[in-house]
């Protein structure tokens, strides 16, 4: 069943087309990510799902029911925000139970449900504390529990990990994915961090200028970008100009080639070679990023740290498997 459906949905703010004729279908039980830079339209789409915004044109359905004009409190969705928005004067248990209190659920029942929700996010026994006594990661879990206690059919997450440090963010990514699998409800996750989207989502919609540039699985979006924007934004890719691509024996047009697909030297069937002058080298821990100028193009490769790093100005030969070069549909 389709959880969320957009049909030619637009949202304009004056002359600004924040969302521009978007078509989108999110399946029930899917972990769906909306990825893009600031101002690309992804958060506005999330707000349209939540009911905080209404479309200028187009049609929205949530589990087959028309959503236009339906207020947020009448939609079977809940939102987790980046800033958590916890009440500092309430206990953790009261924060989690707040939505049920507003709905008129009896006190004993709502507190029991809140305790269960805290256990679900691995915070049993934290109910008597206040938000100021918790770490950032713990407050994020409380915000998640507060949304889940209402048992929504769709959970909307608006860059919820943006305020966390790298190690905690990576830990929370694993926990969110695990929680989504165990609950089986639809998660719609907004982020500008391509690593988050690639590691957690079943499918990704890449947004730019209010439109979806590409929609597919993480592997499809990463390995087979449709446009130059997607190739540049999702991961780190070499967007190769048409003349360079033609010089390698491919049809003339823009192509994407990931740095990790390129190796120093190496020959064999199905491999393509090019020679360039080293213009930069950066140590990244497990590998060195080496950039060369070759036939009018700048190409970056990831060289394992165990290998000697070519010196700046040195001429080197790189190779890659022909199948790793992806020719894009257009030049956007």
User: Are 72 and 207 found together in one domain?
Assistant: yes
The residue segments making up the domain with residue 290 are 237-327
Contacts of 18 by beta carbon, 8 Å cutoff, 6+ apart: 11, 12, 41, 44, 210
Among 206, 178, 185, 215, which residue's Cα sits nearest to residue 30?
Answer: 185
Total of domains in the chain:
2
User: Are 148 and 258 found together in one domain?
Assistant: no
pLDDT at 296: 84
Which residues of the chain register pLDDT less than 50?
none
User: Are 166 and 183 found together in one domain?
Assistant: yes
User: Are 246 and 99 found together in one domain?
Assistant: no
The DSSP secondary-structure symbol of 324 reads G
144/148 Cα distance (integer angstroms): 6
pLDDT at 236: 80
User: Are 69 and 217 found together in one domain?
Assistant: yes
CATH code for position 316: 2.40.50.100
40/30 Cα distance (integer angstroms): 22
Q: Give the number of residues written for the chain.
A: 332
pLDDT at 163: 64
Domain annotation covers residue 130: yes
User: Are 256 and 302 found together in one domain?
Assistant: yes
Contacts of 20 by beta carbon, 8 Å cutoff, 6+ apart: 10, 41, 209, 210, 211
Q: Which of 214, 232, 250 is the last residue of a domain?
A: 232
Extract the tokens encoding 63: 């589990």
142/118 Cα distance (integer angstroms): 7
Domain annotation covers residue 131: yes
User: Are 144 and 212 found together in one domain?
Assistant: yes
pLDDT at 307: 85
Domain annotation covers residue 332: no
Q: Report phi then psi at 271, rounded to 5.
A: -100, 145
pLDDT, tens digit, 9 for 90 and up, residues 228-272: 899 989 988 899 999 999 999 999 999 999 999 999 877 778 899
Domain annotation covers residue 99: yes
| 199 CB neighbour count, 10 Å cutoff | 15
Domain annotation covers residue 307: yes
User: Are 254 and 202 found together in one domain?
Assistant: no
User: By three-state DSSP, how is residue 82 classified?
Assistant: coil
pLDDT at 331: 52
Q: Write the CA distances from 259 to 31, 199, 241, 302, 310, integer angstroms.
A: 28, 19, 15, 5, 16
User: Are 209 and 262 found together in one domain?
Assistant: no
pLDDT, tens digit, 9 for 90 and up, residues 124-138: 889 999 998 988 888
User: Are 69 and 182 found together in one domain?
Assistant: yes
CATH code for position 98: 3.40.50.300
User: Are 119 and 259 found together in one domain?
Assistant: no
Domain annotation covers residue 159: yes
Domain annotation covers residue 164: yes
User: Are 200 and 250 found together in one domain?
Assistant: no
pTM, two decimals, is: 0.86
């Amino acid at each position: 069943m389709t959880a969320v459906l957009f049909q030619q949905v637009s949202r304009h703010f004056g002359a600004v087309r924040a969302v521009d004729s978007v078509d989108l279908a999110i399946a029930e039980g899917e972990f769906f990510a909306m990825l893009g830079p600031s101002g690309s339209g992804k958060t506005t789409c999330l707000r349209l799902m939540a009911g905080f915004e209404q479309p200028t044109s187009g049609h929205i359905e949530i589990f087959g029911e028309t959503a236009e004009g339906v207020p947020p409190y009448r939609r079977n969705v809940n939102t987790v925000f980046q800033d958590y928005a916890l009440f500092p004067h309430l206990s953790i248990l009261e924060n989690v139970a707040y939505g049920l209190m507003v709905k008129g659920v009896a006190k004993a029942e709502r507190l029991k449900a809140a305790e269960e929700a805290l256990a679900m996010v691995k915070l049993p026994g934290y109910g008597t504390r206040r938000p100021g006594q918790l770490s950032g990661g713990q407050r994020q879990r409380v915000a998640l529990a507060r949304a889940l206690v209402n048992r929504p059919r769709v959970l909307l997450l608006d860059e919820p990990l943006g305020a966390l440090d790298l190690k905690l963010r990576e830990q929370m990514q694993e926990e969110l994915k695990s929680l989504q699998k165990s609950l089986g409800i639809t998660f719609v996750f907004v982020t500008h961090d391509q690593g988050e989207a690639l590691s957690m989502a079943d499918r990704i919609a890449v947004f730019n200028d209010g439109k979806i540039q590409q929609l597919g699985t993480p592997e499809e979006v990463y390995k087979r970008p449709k446009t130059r924007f997607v190739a540049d934004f999702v991961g780190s890719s070499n967007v190769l100009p048409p003349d360079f691509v033609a010089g390698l024996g491919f049809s003339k047009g823009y192509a994407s080639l990931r740095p990790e697909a390129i190796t120093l030297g190496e020959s064999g069937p199905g491999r393509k070679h090019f020679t360039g002058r080293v213009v930069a080298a950066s140590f990244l821990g497990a590998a060195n990023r080496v950039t060369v100028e070759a036939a009018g193009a700048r190409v970056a490769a990831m060289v394992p740290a165990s290998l000697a790093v070519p010196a700046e100005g040195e001429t080197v030969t790189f190779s890659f498997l022909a199948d790793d070069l992806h020719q894009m549909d257009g030049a956007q």
